[in-house]
Amino acid sequence: MAGEQTSVTIEDAALDTAASALIDELVAGSVASKLGAQDPTLWGADAESEAAIRLSWTTLHKSSRPLIGEIEALRTDLRSEGIDRIVLAGMGGSSLAPEVITGTESVALTVLDTTDPGQVADALAGDLERTVLVVSSKSGTTVETDSHRRIFAKAFADAGIDAASRIVVVTDPGSPLAELGESEGYRKVFLADPNVGGRYSALTAFGLVPAGLAGADVARLLDQAAVVADSLTADSVENPALRLAAALGAAHAGGAEKVVLADTGSGIAGLGDWAEQLIAESTGKHGIGLLPVVVEDSAAPGFRDAGADATPVAVGPADFGAKIAVTGPLGAQFLLWESAVAIAGRLLGIDPFNQPDVEAAKKAARSLLDDPAALSGSAEPSAVIGAVEVFAGAGTTAEGALADVLREFLGTAPEHGYLAVQAYLDRLDDASAALLRPELAKRAGLETTFGWGPRFLHSTGQYHKGGHPNGIFLQITGTPEHDLEVPERPYTLGQLQRAQALGDGQVLADAGRPVLRLHLTDRAAGLSELMRAVQELTS
């Protein structure tokens, strides 16, 4: 596999000079060895109590070993019963790592990190006789994951299958889900290390159980992490974590807060999607932070043409345009990025282990679910253009054709701002929505991110509200063809999806961020109309 050697190279001379000074400071302050010793004082007094219960990830390559046998034993049992289809319900840190691990090994795993009724219905339509559902939630209270559990439990029962025997839980000790797992007699409850936060949990049960059950070689991941572990806690200018942290910190200090991630042949499938949560949720707070911008490849808009506000990073060998290149196998890259982001947090002066702004959107969604009138959309669209209903935010008028609406909206971006495209759609059936990112980036001249809602709410969502206040937000929602009941809950999945979009939109608007919502009354037709309108914009 390409990139077996773990390394961080700083390709840009000016950035290298700025980073070198920071690396020297970090070495002089013994920051790496203190991280290795799990010293909670590294991020200042305010962060100390949180850090004290968040640092066990530095030794997971050793402490997670006993899990391997447990996972293998359960996999063998399930296979002997003809159960070989793994569906994972989990948001953010509870699904991103297993998705990358299984994608890298080309092992099948159905990930549910959506409230889209169509996408969940498609997962339900798979062969339930052969299915086990892994319900992963550290807190045990995440509404999306709880909804998936309810929907699948009912579907198993309706199919005459004993649901308890088909549900495996991964959660923290003492969580409501741990208790439920025991009281319902679920197949197995894996209790994860509670001293590791969600986005640092790739090498805990959260990453390893679903991936291992699906057939990935999870022991090899721990081996890969073990190979680099000592180098990441060495007080040395060669330490790759210090180099990456210093480069990101120096870039941020120089006004390049956007981190544009492109795969350049790492052999890893989608590391950027995992790193996105780690970087955005860890650093995007108190009005600063690093904004991850995951692009299709190094030729995509936003990478080689990045402006002074962005740092192009190659995941894999250095490529033309990259200012930083990070190589190494997946297990090593997990530990490297976790260490680097934690240390970058110290350089930025923030607590990398909390996510203070995520709760606001969850609260707004909850209150909308309690207010059916607001949720059913009593608000009239500002305009209806073909299959697209336009809900213009404050400061925009929604006049003219769709291209005019978009042009006016893009004009609200501040200099060196960014555009976030947030698609609350089915990421399989409506996959073409992702093509909007490069098309918009090219024409808007802005670093442009793309996220599937509500998945991104557990990732870049923290940055959108808590990071640099220079984003503009294009929400895309769509009428689902069929809705799905959530058993014993007063809302459907479609209503939950809508509440999440409207709730987050409200929080962003209240914070003074420009928000434009385009609702597709016919998803396929609406997406093509939208793409046509984007292509009418001049670059």
Ligand X SMILES: O=P(O)(O)OC[C@H]1O[C@](O)(CO)[C@@H](O)[C@@H]1O
Q: Can you give the binding site for ligand X, defined by CB under 6 A?
A: 91-94, 137-139, 142, 145, 198-199, 281, 355, 358, 458
CB-based contacts of 484: which residues, under 8 Å, 6+ apart?
A: 117, 120, 121, 151, 492, 493, 494
Q: How far is the CB of 330 from ligand X (least distance, A)?
A: 19
Q: How far is the CB of 147 from ligand X (least distance, A)?
A: 12
Nearer to ligand X, 91 or 167 (CB): 91
At CA 221, angle to CA 215 and CA 227, rounded to 5? 160
Nearer to ligand X, 149 or 523 (CB): 149
Q: How far is the CB of 411 from ligand X (least distance, A)?
A: 32
| Residues 353 and 282 sit within 8 Å (Cβ to Cβ) | yes
Q: How far is the CB of 216 from ligand X (least distance, A)?
A: 20
Nearer to ligand X, 198 or 321 (CB): 198
Which residue, chain included where needed, has tokens 């490849």? 297
Nearer to ligand X, 134 or 322 (CB): 134
For residue 314 the two structure tokens come to 């190659």
| Residues 449 and 291 sit within 8 Å (Cβ to Cβ) | yes
Q: How far is the CB of 149 from ligand X (least distance, A)?
A: 11
- Distance between CA 34 and CA 29 in Å, rounded? 9
Determine the length of the chain. Answer: 539
- Distance between CA 12 and CA 500 in Å, rounded? 41
Sign of the alpha-carbon torsion through 443, 273, 22, 196: positive
Q: How far is the CB of 198 from ligand X (least distance, A)?
A: 3
Nearer to ligand X, 96 or 128 (CB): 96
Sign of the alpha-carbon torsion through 235, 241, 245, 250: positive
Nearer to ligand X, 169 or 518 (CB): 169
| Residues 280 and 467 sit within 8 Å (Cβ to Cβ) | yes
Q: How far is the CB of 201 from ligand X (least distance, A)?
A: 8
Q: How far is the CB of 462 from ligand X (least distance, A)?
A: 7
Nearer to ligand X, 90 or 514 (CB): 90
Q: In this structure, which amino acid lies at residue 228?
A: V
**Residue in 293, 287, 298 with CA at minimum distance from that of residue 320:** 298
Q: Where are the beta strands (DSSP E) in 368-509?
A: 383-385, 388-392, 418-424, 447-452, 471-478
Nearer to ligand X, 35 or 358 (CB): 358
Q: How far is the CB of 197 from ligand X (least distance, A)?
A: 7
CA atoms within 13 A on the CB side of 73: 8
Nearer to ligand X, 137 or 239 (CB): 137
